[in-house]
Structure 1
Amino acid sequence: MKYAYYPGCSGHGSSVEYEVSTRAVCDALKMDIVEIEDWNCCGSTPAHSISHELSGALSARNLLQAAKTGADCVITPCPSCSSNLKMARWRMQKPAFKAGVDSLLDDPTPTNEQGGADLLETYSVLQAILENEGLEKIQSLVVKPLEGVKVVTYYGCLLSRPAHVAKFDDPNNPVSLDKIMQALGAEVLPFALKTECCGAAMGIPDVNIPGSLSGRILETAKAVGAEAVVTACPLCHMNLDLRQRQAARVSKNRPFELPVFYFTQLLALAFGLPEESMRFDKLAVNPKPLLDKIAERRDARVMAALNEARKAAGVAS
């Protein structure tokens, strides 16, 4: 498949480590991606709070630009972007809504046989990797398995919601990140808060809101024995990683010191990709102690296997 790639605003700013690792992983998987030219903001949260037609128009323009690439579909790393692009396409199947959106665009959207908009489908990068590339392909590229690493997967609100628009995973108990982490060799722990809200953008008016909600998520992750949190959302990552000290203060907890990774960073790590493709230096909570522990565990397993092989061959270790 050929993918039209929509990086979204955070990919060129606050979540550059997600953007870099996503491109590296897609390249390793030999996914044919081409960035959409002259893309614009999808509207994120503010646009649809003002006007659904405005939000639809912002996303529809990106989908029109995507069609110019000749791609089969659109992919984006950000769940908010994915949700907005999918929602715009879904709403524009109604001719009246399509007409309202088209009135805001320089060029109207193509019309399908039902009178709705004929626009490309959108998938999150997570969905495209899992459904189109597959776990078997992922496992075939693993050279540095994450065996022994205990993680919880955190999905947030939008990856599989609303179900009739997202059409991906289970909205109440998603397992897509779990499957990928398990394919890399990690131990995925049961986590009841995997779809609970982290506070989203409410940290702008009041830091106590994401502080309290994210603190509960982090506290629960620590309680079940997690060594790291894995997510696929820039906003969730910001609240859980960058605001971790605020969360500890608001929840009156000790510092969590719990690394929070994008799933693509751990894919890149397990694939043995160059260090610069992971951008661990961008994380607020220092991941080095855990990364060192992962390397030590791997070295110990390799040495144990080597000693077993020598013993079987009758060679002294």
Structure 2
Amino acid sequence: MMQTPAYAYYPGCSQTGTAREYDLSVRSVFKALGMELAEVDDWSCCGSTPAHSLDTGLMAALAARNLKQVQKMGLEQALTPCPSCLGALRTASRHLVHPEKRAAMNELLDESLEEDVPSRSILQALLEDYGLDKLREQVVVPLKGLKAVPYYGCLMTRPADLMRFDNPENPTSMDETLKILGATVPEFPFKVECCGASLGVPRQEMVLRLSHNILSMAAQVGGNAVVVACPLCHQNLDLRQSQINRANKSNHNMPVLYITQAIGLALGLMPEELGLNKHAVSVRGLLDTISGDAAVEEKGAAS
């Protein structure tokens, strides 16, 4: 039997700090599914938002260094949980096809990158390589009590020619994933609206207003949790939720899950393995709802 090939796993900076729970859930879910991750040796910041805002060439070089590290590991592709990191890695790949940009990028590197290393998101690899049908077979705790509002944000599918995943204006990858996990998925008209992304410091009032609008619409469509796949989106909707309430005189108490945390719960993994104890907005009531509905269903099946 052929061994599952290892993916080079590029966690990115956020996943070692404010989004530690995302990293925990990614590693736990991939391990449970038998998908091997090998963390990129001596990885470094990809540049992403701060470098991109000043110099796209510098950002490409920072990202290219990490792709070179993947090559040195003998692996053929990189996976990352962060849409912003993915955009940076793919920008580096795009520079390779333009001789002038490639030369300028490699001029900044100790070891030049001459051949491309494909990169994908964690969710894309789960859907394309593992597949929803196979994932459905692994569900042991259907998320019957979860009314999950999938929020994709700006960067997960856009720019479309760079990200090349899902429909950029009406994505459904998380919708379909959550449905096979047993969750109820309401129609959500704000699924690709901006939450403010990385502008929480220079334009905090704007971020608090935009994020308030997303949480309000999530409640309006009947959701009891928002599900994301981006650390910036999670930070704005979860970590800043008390600030949102103060700024908008609202009373949001909406848990925000990463898609890998939802998958992990359905696989029967413990909340601590998924970092669910690290959220600013408590998920305890939501977990009680999910486990309670699962217990009722099990009791009904046994009677």
TM-score where L is the length of structure 2: 0.96
The 1-side partners of 2:117 and 2:11 are apart by: 16
Amino acid at match of 2:261: Q
Distance in 1 (CA, whole Å) between partners of 2:184 and 2:270 is 24
Which residue of 2 is the match for residue 241 of structure 1? 238
Q: Select which of 272, 295, 303 maps to 2:268.
A: 272
1:230 is paired with a residue of what secondary structure? strand
Larger radius of gyration: 1
Q: Choose from 28, 46, 50 the match for 2:50.
A: 46
Deviation at 1:148, TM superposition (A): 3.6
Residue 130 of structure 2 corresponds to 133
Aligned length: 299
SS of the residue corresponding to residue 198 of structure 2 reads helix
> C-alpha root-mean-square deviation of aligned residues, in Å?
1.1
Q: Which residue of 2 aligns with 1:230?
A: 227
Q: Report the residue type matching 1:165 in the other structure.
A: L
Q: Is 1:295 aligned to residue 291 of structure 2?
A: yes
Choose which of 20, 29, 40 in structure 2 pairs with 1:25: 29
**1:37 counterpart (35, 41, 44):** 41
| Alpha-carbon shift at residue 91 of structure 1 (Å) | 2.7
Q: Which residue of 2 aligns with 1:190?
A: 187
Contact between 1:34 and 1:69, CA under 8 Å: does it hold in 2? no
CA distance in 2, matches of 1:19, 1:301: 31
SS at match of 2:282: coil
Q: After TM superposition, give the deviation of residue 2 of structure 1 in Å.
A: 2.7
Distance 2:161 2:43 in 1: 26
Long gaps (5+) in structure 1? 111-117, 308-317
> CA–CA distance in 1 between the matches of 2:111 and 2:291?
54
- Rounded to whole Å, the distance in 2 between the matches of 1:171 and 1:74 is 22
Q: Give the letter for the 1:81 counterpart.
A: C
Distance in 1 (CA, whole Å) between partners of 2:176 and 2:76 is 25
Distance 1:247 1:91 in 2: 39
Question: Is the CA contact 2:143–2:183 (under 8 Å) kept in the aligned structure 1?
Answer: yes
Give distance in 2, aligned partners of 1:109 and 1:286.
44
1:284 aligns with 2:280: yes
Give 1:238's aligned amino acid: Q
Stretch moving more, 233-242 or 65-74: 65-74
Q: Is 2:99 the counterpart of 1:95?
A: yes
